[in-house]
């Protein structure tokens, strides 16, 4: 018997670094240091995009300068459960006003601009989220072809309503959408498409994909200063792949808000495996959850480029999470109390802000730095109906008792909505684990200290 082995998969995977380098127009080897590290700041600042140039490009493409709204009714609701003198003012940066309906347009516009300048005929992105719509919209405006690759179905060909909604939006902008089942074939298919088409890889994790968000942090800082004569005490950023937090934090610091707390927020999906066929449709959130936020925080270079520009542990002061039911609860609260119907990604941060505000003084300011558009598949009713079909129980009670994949618990009222801290030292130890058998140099320790926003002694202590 003759066995024929198909080596196509391995052939493509063996060429991944070469394919990626060609598709981004970046020589990542230029930034590598001796040892384990690379020069992150040089990579970020070497692309010719300073804040003023980025703002100009975004302004010409209906991106940026979005409204900052004070949520007075939600602040009043939070103060109902806070002790006297507490209940921080909650502000919201309304990123749904961007061309494609989310902050991802800030990322996409730089990638598309770079592709156009370098002479690529089209752009391609692997995303099941809002980034696909952003790339599709900006590619249409620039006259470039666009392919979006989605991880969409489980093995029974069932997909979440939110992912299908985003596919619809991409197709509305003229993009070709390629939908795949959950599993390792996503990266292979993505690489092969890049290799076959020669299109520009509009990666979420390139310097272009992160520097575009710096304007968001820059605007937040300046908007709050203009309105209140001070910088915000805290900015809450929904965290998934880490680019949103990295770019926003850099923009805040560039504007002078160096003492503003940078707080990551995610939906608690502990216990669900994102690459599991059985778990794939047990979750009600496709992004902004711990299943992405934690793995990408502790291993940022797991992305589709050799060195990711999304490095949240360089900037994150705290990492907080809330349950699924609390995010749905705040989605309703935002619509009913403020007349703003928005999608779930920003409402993850809003749920954290509502809880956190009760622990801060009433003179303090918290900014939720994004909203997103909503649509048929993003509304909470289709999401909850889909959860029920997948055997997930919906009920009211104590959100801290929610078990992801088994139930979704809405708070009985606002007093039950509580955030939980993720241990930052544990995250940093997880980051360091892959170096425990590596002989580290002084330069390596310096790099790790910068990566984790701690001193070298702390690195050595955590390494133990």
437-461 per-position pLDDT tens digit: 999 999 999 999 999 999 999 999 9
Q: According to the model, what pLDDT value does residue 299 have? A: 97
Cβ burial, residue 78 (10 Å; 0-12/13-18/19+): buried
Average predicted confidence (pLDDT) for the chain: 94
Pair of tokens at residue 176 = 């070709």
Torsion angle, CA of 221/99/101/206, rounded to 10 degrees?
A: -70
> Same domain, yes or no, for 163 and 288?
no
Q: Average the pLDDT over each of 235-249, 269-283, 399-413 and give the range with the smallest value.
A: 269-283
Residues 299 and 272 in one domain: yes
pLDDT at 80: 98
Does residue 445 fall inside a structural domain?
yes
| Residue 19 confidence (pLDDT) | 83
What are 170-180's pLDDT values in tens digits? 999 999 999 98
What pLDDT, in 10s, does the model give residues 281-338? 999 988 899 999 999 999 999 988 899 999 999 999 999 999 999 999 999 999 999 9
pLDDT at site 6: 58
Residue 33 lies in a domain: no
Phi-psi domain of 313 (left: phi exceeds 0; alpha: psi -120 through 50; beta: other): alpha
Tokens of 74: 């939600």
- Give residue-wise pLDDT tens across range 99-133: 999 999 999 999 999 999 999 999 999 998 899 99
More confident residue, 280 or 222: 222
What's the whole-number mean pLDDT along residues 56-61? Answer: 98
**CATH label of the domain that carries residue 93:** 3.40.50.1100
Domain ranges, residue 455: 424-463
Report DSSP letters for 83-139, one per residue: PTTB--EEEEE-GGGSTTSSTHHHHHHHHHHHHHHHT-SEEEEE-SSHHHHHHHHHH
Whether 302 is covered by a domain: the verdict is: yes
DSSP 367: E
Element holding 291 (H helix, E strand): helix 290-298
Residue predicted with more confidence, 166 or 427: 427
pLDDT, residue 8, reads 75
Domain endpoint, select from 209, 225, 258: 209
Residues 6 or more apart whose CB falls under 8 angstroms from that of 317 comprise 261, 262, 263
pLDDT digits (tens, 9 = 90+) for 15-37: 877 887 788 888 899 999 999 99
| Tally of domains within the chain | 3
**Any domain includes 26:** no
Closest to 46 (Cα-Cα) out of 66, 59, 60, 27 = 27
Say whether both 261 and 356 belong to one domain.
yes
Percent with pLDDT over 70 in the chain = 98
Residue 159 is assigned to a structural domain of this protein? yes
Regarding whether 384 and 442 lie in a shared domain, the answer is: no
Q: What is the pLDDT of residues 329-353, one digit of tens each?
A: 999 999 999 999 999 999 999 999 9
pLDDT score, position 406: 97
Q: Which of 175, 209, 243 is the last residue before a domain boundary?
A: 209
What pLDDT shows up at residue 203? 92
Better pLDDT: 363 or 166: 363
């Amino acid at each position: 018997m003759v066995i024929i082995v198909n080596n196509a998969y391995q052939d493509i995977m063996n060429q991944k670094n070469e394919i990626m380098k060609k598709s981004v127009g970046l020589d990542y080897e230029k930034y590598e240091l001796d040892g384990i590290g690379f020069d992150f700041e040089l990579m970020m600042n070497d692309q010719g995009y300073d804040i003023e140039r980025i703002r100009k490009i975004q302004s010409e493409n209906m991106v940026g300068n979005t409204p900052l709204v004070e949520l007075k009714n939600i602040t009043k609701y939070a103060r109902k459960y806070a002790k006297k003198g507490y209940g921080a003012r909650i502000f919201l940066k309304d990123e749904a006003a961007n061309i494609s309906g989310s902050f991802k347009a800030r990322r996409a516009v730089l990638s598309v601009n770079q592709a156009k300048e370098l002479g690529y005929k089209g752009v391609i992105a692997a995303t099941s989220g809002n980034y696909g719509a952003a790339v599709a919209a900006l590619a249409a405006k620039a006259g470039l072809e666009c392919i979006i690759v989605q991880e969409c179905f489980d093995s029974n060909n069932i997909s979440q309503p939110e992912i299908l909604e985003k596919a619809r939006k991409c197709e509305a902008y003229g993009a070709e959408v390629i939908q795949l089942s959950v599993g390792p074939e996503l990266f292979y298919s993505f690489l092969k498409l890049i290799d076959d088409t020669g299109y520009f890889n509009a990666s979420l994790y390139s310097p272009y994909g992160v520097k575009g968000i710096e304007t968001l942090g820059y605007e937040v800082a300046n908007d709050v200063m203009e309105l209140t004569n001070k910088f915000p005490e805290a900015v809450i950023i929904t965290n998934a792949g880490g680019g949103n937090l990295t770019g926003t934090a850099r923009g805040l610091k560039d504007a002078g808000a160096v003492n503003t707390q940078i707080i990551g927020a995610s939906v608690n999906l502990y216990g669900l495996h994102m690459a599991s066929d059985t778990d794939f449709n047990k979750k009600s959130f496709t992004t902004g959850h711990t299943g992405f936020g934690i793995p990408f925080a502790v291993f940022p270079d797991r992305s589709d480029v050799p060195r990711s520009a999304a490095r949240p542990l360089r900037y994150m002061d705290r990492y907080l999470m809330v349950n699924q039911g609390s995010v749905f609860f705040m989605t309703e609260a935002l619509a009913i109390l403020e007349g703003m119907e928005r999608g779930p990604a920003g409402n993850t941060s809003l749920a954290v802000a509502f809880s956190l505000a009760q622990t801060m003084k009433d003179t303090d300011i918290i900014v939720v730095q994004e909203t997103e558009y909503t649509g048929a598949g993003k509304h909470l009713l289709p999401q909850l109906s889909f959860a029920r079909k997948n055997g997930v129980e919906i009920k009211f009670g104590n959100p801290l008792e929610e078990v992801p994949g088994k139930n979704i618990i809405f708070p009985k009222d606002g007093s039950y909505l509580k955030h939980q801290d993720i241990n930052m030292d544990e995250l940093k130890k997880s980051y360091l684990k892959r170096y425990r058998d590596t002989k580290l140099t002084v330069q390596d320790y310096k790099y790790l200290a910068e990566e984790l926003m701690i001193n070298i002694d702390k690195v050595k202590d955590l390494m133990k």
